[in-house]
Amino acid sequence: MPQPISELLLQRILAYWAWSGVVIDAATEEKALAITARALHQPEQQRLSFSLQALLEELPGQTPIAAASPPLSRSSMHYGDY
Amino acid sequence: MNNPEPLPAELLTQQRPRWRLAATVRRGMLSLAVLLQTLTATYFILSILPYHGGNLIEVCIAAVFALLFAWISVGFWIGLTGFFLRRIGGDPLSLLRQQDEATLEATPLARTAVVMPIYHEPVGRSLQGLKSVILSLQRSGKLENFDFFILSDSRDPDVWLAEQAAWDQLRNELGMQDRIFYRRRPINLNYKSGNVADFLRRWGSAYEYMVVLDADSLMGGDNLVRMVQLMQRHPQVGILQSSPSLINGRSLFARLQQFSNQLYGPLFTTGLAAIQLGHAAFWGHNAILRIQPFMQHCGLRKLPGWGLFKGPVLSHDFAEAAYMGRAGQEVWLEPELNQSYEESPPTLSDELTRDRRWAKGNLQHIWLMLFSRRLRLAHRMAFMNGIMGYVASPLWFSFLVLTTIEVARLVLWPINYFPEQNQLFPLWPEWHPQRAIWMVSITLTLLFLPKFLAVTDVLLRGRRQQFGGGFKLFFSVFLEIVISALLAPIRMLSHCRYVMEALFNVNLRWAGQNRSGETSWLAAVLNQGIGSLLALAWAGFAWWLDPMFFLWSLPVALPLILAAPIFVLLSKVGWGEALLRNRWLQIPEEAQGSQLVDDLNKPSKLLEVDQHAAFNEAIVHPYTNQLQSQLAHAPRAKRQQSELQLLAQRCLQEGPDALSRAERNLLASDATALRWLHSQVWLAAPESIWGRLLKRRIRIANTPNQTV
């Protein structure tokens, strides 16, 4: 049996938030339900994009990660005889 | 990162040049002992042979025997030296004993980079190991002197994306965003040594020392601190090598290896260190190096010869030690630096895979040994030692072939009593079976006496409980001796193949190597079938020639015939764990516990990175996508962008498995492509490929005991 669209939307919203570090509590679940409800009022083709857009708006902006390597401190390797 | 500051002169330990004299005396005594023992044994074998070396075959037998006997004699005397030194409390000339404990303790540290070069290693395990090292340094209170670099050469996007995710996880867990770094070379030049050289060119000058770890290395914090302090006090030391013990084995094979390493190893490393002193070898990991002279003298040129002897140096560590020695730097092996660990390959199959690589690398050293200029004799001998580690196998094989020819000649051809013209008296072949038995006994003594001395050392030190108690210790030793005797001919035949492959620069591989946890019967039969048939034919021929010769051939032929079952049974994890539960083959870390090892085996999120395909994760998971995008290329030129867009479209429509590794590499390296794919996947219809992948991923995350 195909998954109902409301379940799919709710599942994706909660998963996205959880993976983005949002704590899933009752208040978050309510927000997710509200987005799902609003998305269901959208045309069928736009429900997923609407919910993605809405869930992203609830997330804080991207935080840049710390540098993967320290500032360069260049010097040379020397190649002598065999 | 601060620029390194030299230690004030008053803190430097006065170098005692007496070790050089001692080294000369010790090496002279070792050479003399080996020479006398070998000459005596060769004389003895000539007396055993029917014509006492009176024909070419017998001369060849005696020559090969002399080489092999000299080789095991070196091991015997090194073991004996180690036993003696351990009985008197250690080598008084060792680096660790050149100052007292309090002086060493008071020595300030210098900036040190801990580098872990990795190439397609199990990601979770490698980084969990690094985490254990860092936690141990934290406990030592000296963490602030160390920075950590993961240096990746991995090419598979599922591996290097997992490495990046695990690295991020590690530094977040430890709160060390500015101390644990990750670097992946865009081009892999010159294998591991090229990877380390790449690090040194970029950041080497910011550090005084570099500790090199392997992916399976573990080093205790106190030990690392001690190594830095030793380097600080001895500015003439370029490399200080610790002696890593094997730990954490689960399969029967790995447990046997680590038991023998921990029981017998200290004797041999103590002896070896005493002979080498300041001219020791570098083993490539679990060692500390002084960066400035290393960069000045240890760049490895490509070999200019032909075949095997052309191209990059495969086994770099011995060459680097030799070059350090040439530059006047000392290289020390310090067996008393404890808390230095690595892991054994889990199966014999994995060990032989590694040996194939090492055989090629060590045989390449023939060129360096013969043609490198101004190397120290001790380092040329170290090359020779490494070469003999593999060449001993074809020598042993030749010995078997020659003895078979000798027996066949005597049985099948009529005996010529008058080989010379005008000979007055007949030449009788003489048989001395009792002398042959003596010869075998002497050889076995050389092989096994050091093992029994190692057991004696353990008993005299009151350490029997660490190895399971007296009875279990003896049983374990017996088991180890039986299995190592079974393994010797199998290793010999495989090494023969690897030496031939290396010397002729060809690949004679006849079956794929098993890389999974345990060895399957099919893989074992495919891998060892030819050797078993060869041994069966040889044993059959021996029986046909002479039943006595057949019995003589059995210790070699039988293990080869049974090679496949031996491969499979030794790889069994269940058997290894059953022995562990009953304290057979026990090692000290299992008896008394080790915080370092406990940290390694703790459940950790780092170990979960291997559970999901990292390429999919980089696209699906919001946080991972953000991380990987920020580490990837900035948007590229328009033409490249349009090509990548087409590729990303294909990835979206046909799924990740439809792309080649190179294509997935391209996408994973591009920030724009990663972000676009991420947004599209979350809009994917539930019945599409990515829709199904997403659903499965969410289901796994929602399953109890699974983390997101």
Assess if residue B206 is contained within a domain: yes
Q: Which domain holds residue A50?
A: 5-57
Among all residues of chain A, which has the CA nearest to that of B684? A48
Q: Residue-wise over B508-538: b if at least 16 C-beta within 10 A, else e?
A: eeeeebbeeebbeeebbbbbbeebbeebeeb
Distance from CA of A27 to the nearest CA of B (A): 19
B200 and B339 inside one domain: yes
Residue count (chain A): 82
What are the φ and ψ backbone dihedral angles of A41, each rounded to 5 degrees? -85, -5
Assess if residue B510 is contained within a domain: no
Distance from CA of B312 to the nearest CA of A (A): 12
Total Cβ atoms within 10 A of residue B28:
10
Report the DSSP beta bridge partners of residue B290: B209
Among all residues of chain B, which has the CA nearest to that of A44? B685
Residue count (chain B): 708
pLDDT of residue B708: 42
Residue B5 has pLDDT above 70, yes or no: no
What are the φ and ψ backbone dihedral angles of B240, each rounded to 5 degrees? -120, 115
Assess if residue A72 is contained within a domain: no
Assess if residue B564 is contained within a domain: no
* B219 neighbors B130 (Cβ within 8 angstroms): no
Structure tokens at B590: 């299992």
Spatial distance between the Cα atoms of B132 and B598, rounded to a whole number of angstroms: 8
Spatial distance between the Cα atoms of B97 and B85, rounded to a whole number of angstroms: 13
Smallest Cβ distance to B203: which of A11, A62, A73? A73
Q: Which domain holds residue B302?
A: 1-414+432-505+580-604
What is the DSSP secondary structure assignment for residue B299, as one 8-state letter?
B
- According to DSSP, the β-strands at B340-343 and B245-247 are parallel
B596 and B618 inside one domain: no
Taking only the tens place, the pLDDT of each residue in B12-48 is 655 556 899 999 999 999 999 999 999 999 999 999 9
Positive or negative torsion for Cα B627, B628, B632, B636:
negative
B379: nearest Cα among B329, B318, B333: B318
Distance from CA of A82 to the nearest CA of B (A): 5
pLDDT of residue B435: 85
Smallest Cβ distance to A64: which of B171, B372, B630? B630
Assess if residue A75 is contained within a domain: no
pLDDT of residue B8: 61
Taking only the tens place, the pLDDT of each residue in B648-677 is 999 999 999 999 999 999 999 999 999 999
What is the DSSP secondary structure assignment for residue B503, as one 8-state letter?
H
| Residue with the two structure tokens 């990837």 | B632
Instruction: Check if A82 contacts B (Cβ < 8 Å).
Output: yes
Mean pLDDT across chain B: 91
Assess if residue B543 is contained within a domain: no
Assess if residue B33 is contained within a domain: yes
B584 and B662 inside one domain: no
Element (H, E) at B147: strand B146-152
All residues at 6 or more sequence positions from B74 whose CB lies less than 8 Å from its CB, including other chains: B30, B34, B385
Taking only the tens place, the pLDDT of each residue in B569-601 is 999 999 999 999 999 999 999 999 899 999 999
Assess if residue A9 is contained within a domain: yes
Q: Which of A35, A65, A72 to mutate to test the interface with B (most CBs of B within 10 A)?
A: A65
Q: Percentage of chain B with pLDDT > 90? A: 83
Taking only the tens place, the pLDDT of each residue in B74-111 is 999 999 999 999 999 999 999 999 999 999 999 999 99
Structure tokens at B492: 């010999």
Taking contacts as CB-CB distances below 8 angstroms, the residues of chain A near B698 are 11-12, 15
B595 and B630 inside one domain: no
Distance from CA of A51 to the nearest CA of B (A): 9
B616 and B501 inside one domain: no
Smallest Cβ distance to B1: which of A11, A16, A73? A73
Q: Which of A3, A6, A73 to mutate to test the interface with B (most CBs of B within 10 A)?
A: A73
pLDDT of residue B649: 96
B616 and B483 inside one domain: no
How is B403-418 classified by DSSP, letter by letter?
HHHHHHHHHHSPP-S-
- According to DSSP, the β-strands at B209-212 and B287-290 are antiparallel
Assess if residue A21 is contained within a domain: yes
Assess if residue A74 is contained within a domain: no
CATH number at residue B467: 3.90.550.10
Spatial distance between the Cα atoms of B205 and B176, rounded to a whole number of angstroms: 22
| Minimum mean pLDDT range among B226-230, B412-416, B458-462, B628-632 | B412-416
pLDDT of residue B1: 46
pLDDT of residue B239: 98
The answer to whether B202 contacts A73, with C-beta atoms less than 8 Å apart, is yes
Q: How confident is the model at residue B705 (pLDDT cuts 50, 70, 90)?
A: low
Assess if residue A65 is contained within a domain: no
Domain count, chain B: 2
Q: Residue-wise over B49-74: b if at least 16 C-beta within 10 A, else e?
A: bbbebeeebbebbbbbbbbbbbbbbb
Assess if residue A82 is contained within a domain: no
The answer to whether B203 contacts A72, with C-beta atoms less than 8 Å apart, is yes
What sections of B157-204 are H helices per DSSP?
Answer: 157-174, 191-203
B646 and B584 inside one domain: no
Residue B269 has pLDDT above 70, yes or no: yes
The answer to whether A75 contacts B687, with C-beta atoms less than 8 Å apart, is no
pLDDT of residue B433: 78
Element (H, E) at B626: helix B622-631
Instruction: Check if A41 contacts B (Cβ < 8 Å).
Output: no
* B174 neighbors B131 (Cβ within 8 angstroms): yes
pLDDT of residue B14: 56
Taking contacts as CB-CB distances below 8 angstroms, the residues of chain B near A70 are 1, 147, 178, 181, 203, 206
What sections of B97-211 are H helices per DSSP?
Answer: 101-105, 123-140, 157-174, 191-203
B212 and B269 inside one domain: yes
Assess if residue B569 is contained within a domain: no
* B41 neighbors B439 (Cβ within 8 angstroms): yes
Taking contacts as CB-CB distances below 8 angstroms, the residues of chain A near B686 are 2-3, 8
| Minimum mean pLDDT range among B177-181, B285-289, B611-615, B670-674 | B611-615
B260 and B312 inside one domain: yes
All residues at 6 or more sequence positions from B10 whose CB lies less than 8 Å from its CB, including other chains: none
The answer to whether A78 contacts B368, with C-beta atoms less than 8 Å apart, is no
Smallest Cβ distance to B686: which of A8, A72, A75? A8
Q: Residue-wise over B328-337: b if at least 16 C-beta within 10 A, else e?
A: ebbbbbbbbb
B488 and B351 inside one domain: yes
* Mean pLDDT computed over B520-548: 94
Strand ranges inside B37-127, DSSP E: 112-118
Structure tokens at B395: 């020598």
* Mean pLDDT computed over B222-229: 97
* Mean pLDDT computed over B164-174: 95
pLDDT of residue B707: 44
Ordered strands of the B237-242 beta sheet: B180-184, B146-152, B112-118, B209-212, B287-290, B237-242, B330-334
* B311 neighbors B277 (Cβ within 8 angstroms): no
Q: Which of A10, A49, A73, A82 to mutate to test the interface with B (most CBs of B within 10 A)?
A: A82
B25 and B158 inside one domain: yes
pLDDT of residue B392: 97
Distance from CA of A43 to the nearest CA of B (A): 14
Assess if residue B377 is contained within a domain: yes
Asked whether the ipTM of the predicted complex exceeds the cut of 0.90, the reply is yes
Alpha carbon of residue B377 to chain centroid? 24
B18: nearest Cα among B89, B92, B76: B92
Kindly report the pTM of this predicted structure: 0.92
Domain count, chain A: 1
Spatial distance between the Cα atoms of B630 and B634, rounded to a whole number of angstroms: 8
* B342 neighbors B600 (Cβ within 8 angstroms): no
Smallest Cβ distance to B373: which of A3, A18, A81? A81
Residue B4 has pLDDT above 80, yes or no: no
* Mean pLDDT computed over B244-253: 95
pLDDT of residue B2: 45
Name the 3-class secondary structure at B263: helix
B374 and B449 inside one domain: yes
Assess if residue B562 is contained within a domain: no
Domain boundary among B604, B637, B652: B604
* Mean pLDDT computed over B183-194: 91
